[in-house]
Amino acid sequence: MLNWTSGGVCAPKGFTAAGVHAGVKAGSSADKKDLMLLFSEKPCAAWGMYTQNVVKAASVLWTRQALQNGAAQAVVANSGNANACCEQSGENAERMARAAAEQLGIAPEDVVVGSTGVIGQTINIAAIEQALPGCTEQLSRAGSDAAAQAIMTTDTVKKEEAVTVEIGGKTVTIGGISKGSGMIHPNMGTMLCFLVTDCAISKELVRTALQEAVRISFNRISVDGDTSTNDTCVLMANGMAGNVEITEKGEAYALFVEALSALCVKLARQMARDGEGAKHLITCTVSGARDEQSAETVAKSVIASSLTKAAVFGCDANWGRVLCAMGYSGESFDPERVDVTFSSENGAVDVCRAGRGLPFDEALARQVLSAGEVVIAVSMGEGDGCCTCWGCDLTYDYVQINGDYRT
């Protein structure tokens, strides 16, 4: 049984965090936190997953190399600058790691580095180095909130969750913070996500658990079809819960993956809901597909469709756009077996059956689509495959936010 709790990345035993204003972005407000630290008092088994964009930020390259040994003990991350596509980007990522390591008394290779913000502008590494001593002093068990705020860019709300689960008679806790609002598109979007746990679990299974959880969460969201250069999702496990170390895929591993996946889905939904300028969270559930992969491909195509997103923004039950997005997804299916229903807390309306439009109450449909979360349920009549993906509507505010993002 899963139990949701407070504390974010400081909920598991042995982890402290902090977030401060360093002034990474010139002219940023003094009350905008833009530098965070996350530290485990004991070394961790760790693994990461990263952007699939060919153009990768220096923080991604550093962290990917550092985690080759499956170990880490700290995270340092900034907002306000992506540290990507600039001269000395690699050197500056290393300087971040070394400065944090010096303050924490650990090796630079045990420090995960994350950056998010404008691409193509040289990062103010001096400001980060100057702020790290103060940030280190503020490390505490109550620091998750500040750390979550420090990685926000165009996010309007922080993303922070924690969950507990009983494994082998011990309470295991998993906590996470993440950011992501724009440049969100499978696989993973412009996101930083730092997951920590006090579970005792082998390095090999930390890797597979993270892969399983990301596959059904962060890799199933889309905001705008753009895949960032900086995506990083890292899981660190320090073993301080006291459970017998999980070294094989059995009941204990399944319980851990269930909790980790539930946490990641919660954070992923929050990212989609907080898409830049978004008014609606769109949940697309596909059932009756040939297999799960087919269902996922179709659902991703629907949530990524600009026309479908615009229709939801306008509370327009334009179901033809759903079928259109399904049709160009690349999956083969019989359109005359497809049913579509729109639903929300305000009710439900069937709009398509067997590939043909149904008469429906336009006023009811508009009421259904006016809710904060809209569910597009697609039944394909092809098999037993099913999948759920998440996106958001496309609004005027999205264009306005990104029209002058750099300046």
Residue 299, SS3?
Answer: helix
Write down the catalytic residue from 16, 154, 190, 283: 190
Q: What is the DSSP string of 121-173?
A: S---HHHHHHHHHHHHHT-BTT-HHHHHHHT-SS-SS-EEEEEEEEETTEEEE
Q: Is 16 a catalytic residue?
A: no
**Distance of alpha carbon 219 from alpha carbon 93, whole angstroms:** 26
**Distance of alpha carbon 407 from alpha carbon 404, whole angstroms:** 6
Residue 348 tokens, joined: 């439900």
Which residues lie closer than 8 Å to 197 by C-beta, 6 or more apart? 12, 172, 173, 174, 175, 235, 236, 237, 238, 241, 256, 260
Residue 374 tokens, joined: 């809209």
**Distance of alpha carbon 61 from alpha carbon 196, whole angstroms:** 21
**Distance of alpha carbon 378 from alpha carbon 307, whole angstroms:** 17
Report the alpha-carbon angle 36-83-271, nearest 5: 60
Which residues lie closer than 8 Å to 290 by C-beta, 6 or more apart? 331, 333, 380, 382, 383, 385
**Distance of alpha carbon 227 from alpha carbon 125, whole angstroms:** 25
**Distance of alpha carbon 281 from alpha carbon 265, whole angstroms:** 14
**Active site positions, annotated:** 190
